[in-house]
Amino acid sequence: MTDATQRREELKAVWEQASRCTRCPQLAAARQTVVFGSGNADADLMFVGEAPGRSEDEQGHPFVGRAGKLLEQLLGEVGLQREDVFINNTLNCRPPDNRDPHPVEIENCQDYLLRKIELVEPRVVCTLGNFATKLLRGDNAGITKVRGQAEIRVIGRRAVRLLPILHPAAALYTPANLEKLREDMAQLPELLGLPLPDQPAAREPPREPTNADDPLRAVPESEAAGGDEPPPRGDDQLGLF
């Protein structure tokens, strides 16, 4: 088994685990699906957004609405396609009424995001909007202050080039932001061509996220997963290329 194949299989295993997650009882009870992420399982470029919306919750894949269409358009303008990248969010579940993620929800979901970064092994991580930017930069600087400023960051066990940009939804609501998005995304080809940053020294792998010892676990796994049967495990269901 090649390294890429092994990482892909481990990514599926983390997805199966996330599909049953009940760490956030309110989100687990209200969701239709867990929106784990989709795209190239060996991508050099990963996007991290905020949280799934209604369309994402219905279809099980991130960025399938208007913001997703705009993101695909902007990718095309810099010579990339959706199939080239991996897209996910800080949260795997849709907050009720599309409210902002709560800090405890972001914390509960963080292990899954770190594992995805570790297993996909991107060279560049592009954060979309405030929530992802603050989480992965580790400070409270807002997106308007740091957008377009690429830097090397160690995220979990992976050193990457981090590029914060506006969320595509910001350009839908405020058309003047579209040129800012274009300006920032124009950096991506150059960033992807730079050498991989020096990686941190190897250490013990993190414990896999579990529900068994989670103090917030309040919804039966079978109920949260939508039935007694485990979810299907195909690449099509997860949305991997």
Q: What is the pLDDT of residue 204?
A: 59
Amino acid at 52: P
Element (H, E) at 126: strand 124-128
* Residue 192: strand, helix, or coil: helix
- 219 pLDDT higher than 80: no
C-alpha 11/C-alpha 24 separation (Å) is 21
For the stretch 79-88, pLDDT in tens is: 999 999 999 9
Please state, rounded to an integer, the average pLDDT across all residues of the chain: 89
Q: Is 38:76 a contact under the CB 8 Å cutoff?
A: no
Which domains does the chain show, CATH number per domain? 3-194 (3.40.470.10)
Digit-coded pLDDT (tens) for 143-180: 999 999 999 999 999 999 999 999 999 999 999 999 99
In one letter, which amino acid is 174?
A: T
Q: What is the pLDDT of residues 40-75, one digit of tens each?
A: 999 999 999 999 999 999 999 999 999 999 999 999
Using CA atoms, how far residue 202 sits from 44, 91, 107, 205, in Å, is 21, 27, 24, 8
pLDDT digits (tens, 9 = 90+) for 27-40: 999 999 999 999 99
pLDDT of residue 96: 95
